[in-house]
Chains A and B, each alone.
Chain A
Amino acid sequence: NAGVTQTPKFQVLKTGQSMTLQCAQDMNHEYMSWYRQDPGMGLRLIHYSVGAGITDQGEVPNGYNVSRSTTEDFPLRLLSAAPSQTSVYFCASSYSGRTTEAFFGQGTRLTVV
């Protein structure tokens, strides 16, 4: 049981390049979400999904795109990378409901130069 798997673990991009951060979970969770972690800011919600085909924006969605074609996968796309997107990105998944805990991937450390 792998849990939540994120790839890659590290990435360096040049300004203007695009890339996709992958997230997969094998727990049949309905909810999935993406966060970015910056020093002193905690984790901030980028986008989330409540099921296949359903996504919505979080607190900091600009510059990012998501889709969810299957229950298992929730990729995050950077359309045109900017230095302000240098951050650590975490994917999380959980069962539906307000009392359920979320499970996190190990994170992707992204540097945009």
Chain B
Amino acid sequence: AQSVTQLDSHVSVSEGTPVLLRCNYSSSYSPSLFWYVQHPNKGLQLLLKYTSAATLVKGINGFEAEFKKSETSFHLTKPSAHMSDAAEYFCVVRTQAGTALIFGKGTTLSVSS
């Protein structure tokens, strides 16, 4: 069965420093992976997706993620954090049939000035 594990429940950074949110996946097939962001009391917004094209995927707001099959990882990074990046981030994989999504438990990103 497919699954995703977000390795940190909470990450704290200072404004202007790099962001790293870690995600490992488990899948018996070539996965489609996504990162979604949820700002407080809001819905979910797609940051980026990997669908077996380029392994380095660029998303919105300066975020990017690298798919590493050998490490079964799909970590999210950003070179310089902004206060507006404070939110909850979800690593997500589509089911093999593609009919629904499986979510990680989420990582809360805090950004201090």
Contacts and interface: CB of A to CB of B under 8 A. Distances in A.
B100 A101 contact: no
Contacts of B103: 35, 42-44
A42 B104 contact: yes
- Size band of the interface chain A makes with B: 20 to 34
A45 B2 CA distance: 14
A41 B102 CA distance: 12
Interface in A24-64: 31, 33, 35, 40-45, 48, 50, 56, 58
Interface in A56-113: 56, 58, 90, 92, 96-102, 104-107
Interface residues of B, number: 24
Contacts of B96: 98
A41 B106 CA distance: 8
B9 interface: yes
A97 B44 CA distance: 20
B51 A43 contact: no
Contacts of B49: 99, 101
Closest 9 CB pairs of A and B: A98-B98, A99-B51, A42-B103, A42-B105, A104-B44, A43-B103, A106-B43, A48-B100, A104-B43
Interface of A: 31, 33, 35, 40-45, 48, 50, 56, 58, 90, 92, 96-102, 104-107
Interface of B: 9, 32, 34, 36, 42-44, 46, 49, 51-52, 90, 94, 96-106
